Amino acid sequence: MREIVFDTETTGLSFPGGDRIVEIGCLELVNRVETGRVFHVYLNPGRAMPAEAQAVHGLSDAFLADKRRFADEVEALLEFIGDAPMIAHNAGFDFAFLNGELGLCGRPLVCTTRMVDTLAIARQRLPGAKHTLDALCTRFGIDRSRRVLHGALLDAQLLAQVYVELSGGRQIGLSLAADPTPAPDDFAVVDTAVRPIRPQRVFDVPPAERERHAAFVATLKDPLWGLAAVG
């Protein structure tokens, strides 16, 4: 199964209030394994960057000035995500911005039925724990030492590992097969290849041992094999 893990960085918290996406990072999973395919762009939002937002992701007006607009990258983005489920942390936030930008471009919105929210999954499976991306990385032993500032692609890469752990751990993705055939009743597939049959072992019992065994058997009263023979 193909899935897309993604994250966005923005100028603020409200698309209706005029905030825009300034970075998108997406990576592809197939059967919960990273394939190495990514989509990553910085975007010129067409507005000034608030100081509080820059403090979160470090993206300045000067850095974004020569970057392309969302409308310039939308075709490549839509081609990359295809019709796959889309995984994000606090996914409602990222979907609101993504669909807001798509709406401005006159493009169809991404249906929210494709949305997989790892924050909701973490709250359900780990009640009472901290559910930030940093906290989940710490919980699952995922190295987040490069996460000095928020970054869409880096956060998507970390989230992909968190998602795998929330979904059952590393053992669930053992191959990149596009269409794996499950074993009946979820049992593991057993190698049924014919193996050489070992020759029967022959044990040479000395005559004295045979006589001792016969004498012992003769002392048994009403042995089961005798009753079976009578019946």
Do 91 and 116 touch, CB atoms closer than 8 A?
Answer: yes
Which amino acid, one-letter code, is at 4? I
Strand partners, 40: 25
In a domain, 22, yes or no: yes
- Any binding-site annotation on 179? no
Q: Is the predicted pLDDT of residue 175 greater than 70, yes or no?
A: no
pLDDT for 24-59, tens place per residue?
999 999 999 999 999 999 999 999 999 999 999 999
Interatomic CA distance for residues 5 and 176, integer angstroms: 16
In a domain, 104, yes or no: yes
In a domain, 206, yes or no: no
In a domain, 35, yes or no: yes
- Any binding-site annotation on 52? yes
- Any binding-site annotation on 186? no
Q: How many domains does the chain have?
A: 1
CB atoms within 10 A of CB 90: 15
In a domain, 208, yes or no: no
Kindly list the catalytic residues. Answer: 150
Q: Is the predicted pLDDT of residue 228 greater than 70, yes or no?
A: no
- Any binding-site annotation on 9? yes
Which residue is listed with tokens 């795998």?
164
Interatomic CA distance for residues 158 and 79, integer angstroms: 23
Q: Report CA Rg, the chain.
A: 31
CATH of the domain at 28: 3.30.420.10
> In this structure, what are the phi and psi dihedrals at residue 112, rounded to the nearest 5 degrees?
-70, -10
Q: Is the predicted pLDDT of residue 113 greater than 70, yes or no?
A: yes
Determine the 3-state secondary structure of 8 from DSSP: strand
Mean pLDDT of the chain: 87
Closest C-alpha among 182, 176, 156, 153 to residue 30? 176
pLDDT for 130-150, tens place per residue?
999 999 999 999 998 888 789
In a domain, 198, yes or no: no
Q: What is the pTM of this model?
A: 0.72
In a domain, 101, yes or no: yes
Q: What is the DSSP string of 116-177?
A: EEHHHHHHHHSTTS--SHHHHHHHTT---TT-SS--HHHHHHHHHHHHHHHTT-GGG-----
How are beta strands 21-30 and 33-42 bridged, if at all?
A: antiparallel
pLDDT at position 201: 62
In a domain, 205, yes or no: no
Confidence of residue 231 (pLDDT cuts 50, 70, 90): very low
pLDDT for 151-169, tens place per residue?
999 999 999 999 999 998 7
Pairwise pLDDT comparison (94 vs 180), residue with the higher score: 94
For the residues 95-109, what does the mean pLDDT come to?
97
pLDDT at position 198: 60
For helices 70-81 and 91-104, give the axis angle rounded to 10 degrees.
120
Which amino acid, one-letter code, is at 228? A
Question: Domain of 22?
Answer: 2-186
